[in-house]
Amino acid sequence: METIDFEQIRLPKHVAIIMDGNGRWAQLRGKHRTFGHKAGAEAVRRAVTFARQKGIQSLTLFAFSSENWKRPQQEVSVLMDLFFTVLKREVKKLHKHNVRLRIIGDKQAFSDKLQQRIAEAEALTAANTALTLNIAANYGGRWDIAHAAKQLAEAVQAGKLSVEDISEDKLADKLCLAEQPAPDLLIRTGGEHRVSNFLLWQLAYAEFYFADVLWPDFDEHAFARAIADFSCRERRFGLTSAQVQQAILDTDVTTGE
Ligand code: IPE
Ligand code: IPE
Ligand code: MG
């Protein structure tokens, strides 16, 4: 029988979050949308601390989508400045807490200064092991898949890969997050029930959790509720419920738990 890692059922190894609702949070307070983005940065810090303390291996946060460039120029520029400042301010603390930082997305669109800061932050934290924090910036799920396909095409063109050998695994190897476990749990705050071009391939078997709370209000309790909800889900990966239950019994027998 197909082996399933039932440890995953209890605590997610990898949590992905669509951090939505910053603009509405600010507007509810009569403030400009950018005020919400600043408050959102604080919520990021809380979420990272929670994930690290709970022993989650990977946390992937959607910070800026490929489509967010279409927002008013002023909002885009505040978001870029904020990204730059937060990176500068937080990277030493992340390093101190043994967090590995990765930025996923099409980084070429960023200013040279920002790209350099990203490269330095990734290099400094590369060997850290407590938590991998992936920040998705100028990220799109369709871009990720197209980018992977392009790399395979280049390998074929160079004579290093034959078309017959192209498989799901080969394509998956070229995607962002390839070396990390697939996200088990996707959380979206802000009340919308959509994926907005986030990790389209990687979320194939993730559990989805939608919360009405706006991102700046997402705290430890809200995160804990999402994890608790996840731990009660039965993940079937295409099997029947009876097969899954049998596999749990078999696992318990072999591990003696
Ligand atoms: C999410 O909050 C942050 C980004 C997309 C950068 P929004 O800015 O989308 O906030 P709402 O959804 O308009 O409230
Ligand atoms: C998704 O939020 C992107 C991020 C959270 C970075 P959006 O606010 O851009 O998504 P839509 O437009 O409501 O689908
Ligand atoms: Mg939004």
- What digits encode the pLDDT tens for the residues 152-187? 999 999 999 999 999 999 999 999 999 999 999 999
User: Is the confidence at residue 6, as pLDDT, over 50?
Assistant: no
Q: pLDDT tens, 97-139?
A: 999 999 999 999 999 999 999 999 999 999 999 999 999 999 9
Residues near ligand 1 with C-beta < 6 Å? Answer: 19-24, 64, 68, 79, 190, 215
For residue 10, the model assigns a pLDDT of 84
Residue 52 or residue 256, greater confidence: 52
In angstroms, the CA 150 to CA 186 distance is 27
What is the mean pLDDT of the segment spanning 242-251?
94
Q: pLDDT tens, 140-154?
A: 999 999 999 999 999
255 beta partners: none
Widest Cα–Cα separation across the chain: 60
For residue 251, the model assigns a pLDDT of 85
Q: Does the C-beta of 243 come closer than 6 Å to ligand 2? A: no
Question: Which CA distances in Å does 108 have to 105, 116, 138?
Answer: 9, 11, 9
184 is in an annotated binding site: no
Q: Does the C-beta of 69 come closer than 6 Å to ligand 2? A: no
- The atom of ligand 2 lying closest to the CA of 194 is 14
- The atom of ligand 2 lying closest to the CA of 20 is 5
What is the mean pLDDT of the segment spanning 48-61?
97
User: Is the confidence at residue 7, as pLDDT, over 70?
Assistant: no
Q: pLDDT tens, 74-86?
A: 999 999 999 999 9
Q: Does the C-beta of 230 come closer than 6 Å to ligand 2? A: no
CA of 49 relative to ligand 2 center, distance in Å: 23
* Residue 219 is among the residues annotated as catalytic for this protein: no
CA of 19 relative to ligand 3 center, distance in Å: 8
* Residue 138 is among the residues annotated as catalytic for this protein: no
Catalytic residue among 5, 20, 134, 144: 20
Contact 95, 125 (CB under 8 A): yes
Question: Which CA distances in Å does 215 have to 63, 103, 105, 139, 223?
Answer: 11, 20, 21, 19, 11
Q: Taking all residues of the chain, what is their mean pLDDT, rounded to a whole number?
A: 94
User: Is the confidence at residue 253, as pLDDT, over 80?
Assistant: no
Domains of the chain in start order, with CATH, are 14-255 (3.40.1180.10)
Whole-prediction pTM: 0.94
